[in-house]
Amino acid sequence: MIAGYWNRVRLLQKLILVVILFLIIPVLIIGYFLFSASLSLAQKEGREMLEKVVYQLNENIEYRIIGYQNILMQLSLDSGITTTLTQPYRSLEEEVMGLQQINSAVSRIRSYFPMKTIQFYKSNPHLHEDGGTVLNLERAETKDWYADMKAGNQSFYWYFNWKDDHSEPSLYLSEWLVDYISNEKYGIIHVEVSNRALFDQITNPLALKKGGFMVLDEQGRVLANYLDPRGGTDTVRPAYLERVYDAKQGWYPAKIKGQQSLVVYETNRLGWKVVTVVSQQELWQKLRLVKQAAVSVSILFVVLTVGVLAGFGLRTTKRLNFLIRSMRRVRSGDLGLTIKVHRKDELADLETEFNTMSIRLDQSMEEIAEARSRAEREKLNLLQAQINPHFLYNTLALVKSMAMDVGSSEISGTVDALAKFFRLALNRGVDVLPFRDELEHVKAYLEIHESRYPGRLTVAFDVEEAALTCDIVKITLQPIVENALLHAFVHTGGRGSLTISAALRQESLCIAIADNGSGMNQEQLRELLENADGAGENGGFGIYNVNERLKRHYGQSYRLLIRSAPGEGTAVQLYIPQKKRQAAAAG
């Protein structure tokens, strides 16, 4: 059904359908899959970018956390502070000097790192409280953070004291003061850091992408919020961030304020969650531009392709239709008609060929008319060719009868050999005959030669029985034998010997014709095989022609070899394949 419809469709319509099916649609499909692949790649790149941002934010926050922890470590190892908090005092003046030393160190530290308060809780009963920086350890025992710190075994302890309205928390960092000689705890360093002091110097790296980040504590309370562009202070965790507590790090898509967004998070050493949120539209803004450009280019590509194809197809079909009409005129008898050749494309070649065909067709019609008269003459020649062999045989039979009447057996034998020679040579028009008949043909020729030159030539035959049934192209041996008689015994007055042998070897008929004549040099051998005139002035068929006939008939599997040297005679060897004959016999 489809094939039948396709055969009825015109050429221009076929061109348009082929372009749509095999060019436009595949290009659009490939473009769609490429865009889908690029979308997945863009998603991966966007996620990896956010993961790097989260990692960098976490590094920045950890850097500040480590900074405060290093401050506490520095204060705990300060020999002056340690001595002030642990030594016994003999006078009030010594206590005042020690407290001044502590306050001086605290002021110096606070000038580098913003902190609300730095307090030292001491167990030394000889040192009095100053009411602000140095306090008795019993006061720490009343604080909310002390029980957890005493129960834990941590180097540093972070504690959050949230206000009743869940607004900005106070962040506390504490460390035990330990006498490393006796390994006894003699106090606590306690620092209060404001939330802003910890996070304000961290900029929002996603501001240009209309995104931001949040820092959440272990309970999900917001420590820092850079998602609200208005700088809001809401510390309540949004509902879409519930999944950040499913793992230490990861990512997931979420719908936020009607927009599909990507959430990437990571957990730091304090259990805080650093969460980045960016709208996917912002992440893939460039990809959207690429998509719009690709759609525009695709539409333009389709329109231009169809337009160009339609214009080209109309011009092409117009030229084809004109050519078809011209062919119909030629078919109607307007022979010799020519048309104008346009441009130099393939249709121009077709138009040129049409003109050549029309002219040659006109010439051919004239030649056919002339050939008809020649054909009549050929019929007469063929009739004569059929009559002549019969006439020749009848004449030779008459001469033989006349010779027998006068008692001349020599004339009778010669005429009989000549009749056999012509009968085998003509062979009713058959080109291939058994080797037995070819051998009889050569013997008849040699009998005639013996009648002309009695006693001069000695001939020996060495033919195996299997070779007699092999096939061979007729008139193969006689030209070679004739060539030997004409050239080999020139210097001996025609006296010499000739050996003809044949055998079947490996599916090839092997024939050798050797003489003991004067032989030839290499130049004469080359002349023998390249001279199309054969026996030259004597008018023989020639070895060259025999070689060419056998090549055409048997192809590459046939071989002819000639070995000769001056004074050493000549040997001609033929290797004629018999595969066709044997295959036919087996069948």
Q: Give pLDDT tens digits for 463-496.
A: 999 999 999 988 889 889 988 888 888 888 888 9
pLDDT over 70 for what percent of the chain?
78
- Using an 8 Å Cβ cutoff, are 461 and 500 in contact? yes
Q: Mean pLDDT over all residues of the chain?
A: 79
**Lowest-confidence pick of 44-48, 80-84, 392-396, 468-472:** 392-396
pLDDT, position 376: 52
pLDDT, position 231: 47
pLDDT surpasses 90 at 429: no
Residue 421 binned pLDDT confidence (cut-offs 50, 70, 90): low
Helix (H), strand (E) at residue 293: helix 285-331
Distance CA 242, CA 584 (A): 92
* Two tokens, residue 23: 């060019």
More reliable by pLDDT, 35 or 90:
90
pLDDT surpasses 80 at 255: yes
- Using an 8 Å Cβ cutoff, are 566 and 503 in contact? no
Which ranges of 87-221 does DSSP label H, i.e. alpha helix? 92-112, 137-140, 144-151, 195-199
pLDDT, position 374: 56
Distance CA 581, CA 553 (A): 13
pLDDT surpasses 90 at 514: yes
Distance CA 485, CA 326 (A): 66
Distance CA 559, CA 439 (A): 20
- Using an 8 Å Cβ cutoff, are 113 and 71 in contact? yes
pLDDT, position 557: 86
Distance CA 243, CA 265 (A): 10
Tell me what the mean pLDDT of segment 362-380 comes to. Answer: 65
**pTM value surpassing 0.75:** no
Closest CA to 478 of 438, 430, 512, 509: 438
Quick: pLDDT tens for 155-180. 788 887 766 555 567 788 899 998 87
Distance CA 50, CA 283 (A): 10
pLDDT surpasses 50 at 457: yes
Backbone angles phi and psi of 332, in degrees to 5: -80, -5
More reliable by pLDDT, 345 or 278:
278
pLDDT, position 417: 63
Closest CA to 477 of 448, 418, 518, 437: 437
Residues linked to residue 193 through DSSP beta bridges, in sequence order: 171
**Lowest-confidence pick of 254-268, 406-420, 423-437:** 406-420
Tell whether the torsion through CA atoms of 214, 218, 222 and 223 is positive or negative: negative
Quick: pLDDT tens for 43-59. 788 788 888 988 888 88
The CA distances from residue 271 to 202, 324, 498, 502, in Å, are 19, 87, 117, 107
- Using an 8 Å Cβ cutoff, are 240 and 220 in contact? no
